[in-house]
């Protein structure tokens, strides 16, 4: 598999180094290099790459801002000289983060993660129908992609830029680098309901509701005022007096 990649960095030396690293990597095809996010925008919209090596600190439009405009299928590897931006990368679902100055080994490791991500995605998309009848999602956890079948998810708990996914087939929650908004966008809307700013539940896994709380074992998930109306709409016709 070949990945079409862009390099976006306003430092000429960094741009040159990344170009050199990409040319050494046989599964990367350099499809564009840009010295600013603004310069890259039009090409991103008309001919989006598979992967972008994206500098964070740039004038006018920085890398994190550009990441919000990147097409959903394009993956991002952030590059920066400042370590404090590592957490910011998870807000835009970056696959990895390279701290300048980085070696070719670091670059190759990050690029390989991207390759593995696309290979897993292709495998899922091309799998026989019998293997994909069960709905599933891929989530990023500990720098790897993990397949989770929808039916096993009980609920998700938000922790700033991370989520805890509670599954019926795992003793401990799975920690994933994802926001609540991102999670809501990838799970079936007819199966999942947000009941609190920090909780999304799978509705067909709700068995007990007690004192305005949804009970999962020893955990009691509150139904907040902001989401109470939606929850009541869901419950309409399901309560037998």
Choose the most confident range, by mean pLDDT, from 47-61, 90-104, 225-239.
Answer: 47-61
pTM for this model (two decimals) = 0.59
> What is the rounded CA–CA span in Å between residue 39 and residue 76?
17
pLDDT > 90? residue 165: yes
Q: What pLDDT sits at residue 128?
A: 61
Angle between helices 104-126 and 12-24 (to 10 degrees): 60
pLDDT digits (tens, 9 = 90+) for 194-225: 999 999 999 999 999 999 999 998 899 999 99
């Amino acid at each position: 598999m070949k990945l079409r990649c862009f390099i976006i960095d306003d430092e000429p030396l960094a741009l040159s180094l990344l170009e050199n690293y990409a040319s050494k990597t046989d599964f990367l095809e350099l499809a564009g290099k840009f010295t600013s996010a603004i310069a890259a925008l039009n090409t991103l919209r008309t001919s989006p790459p598979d992967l972008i090596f994206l500098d964070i600190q740039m004038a006018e439009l920085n890398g994190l801002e550009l990441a919000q405009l990147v097409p959903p299928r394009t993956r991002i590897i952030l590059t920066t000289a400042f370590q404090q931006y590592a957490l910011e990368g998870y807000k835009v679902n970056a696959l990895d983060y390279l701290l300048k100055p980085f070696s070719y080994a670091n670059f190759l490791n990050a690029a390989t993660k991207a390759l593995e991500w696309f290979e897993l995605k292709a495998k899922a998309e091309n799998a026989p129908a019998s293997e994909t009848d069960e709905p599933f999602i891929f989530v990023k956890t500990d720098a790897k992609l993990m397949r989770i079948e929808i039916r096993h998810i009980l609920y998700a708990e938000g922790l700033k830029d991370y989520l805890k996914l509670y599954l019926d087939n795992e003793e401990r929650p799975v920690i994933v680098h994802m926001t609540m908004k991102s999670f809501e966008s990838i799970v079936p809307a007819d199966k999942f309901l947000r009941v609190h700013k920090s909780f999304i539940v799978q509705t067909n896994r709700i068995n007990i509701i007690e004192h305005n709380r949804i009970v999962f074992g020893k955990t009691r998930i509150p139904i907040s005022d902001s989401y109470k109306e939606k929850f009541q709409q869901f419950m309409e016709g399901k309560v037998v007096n």
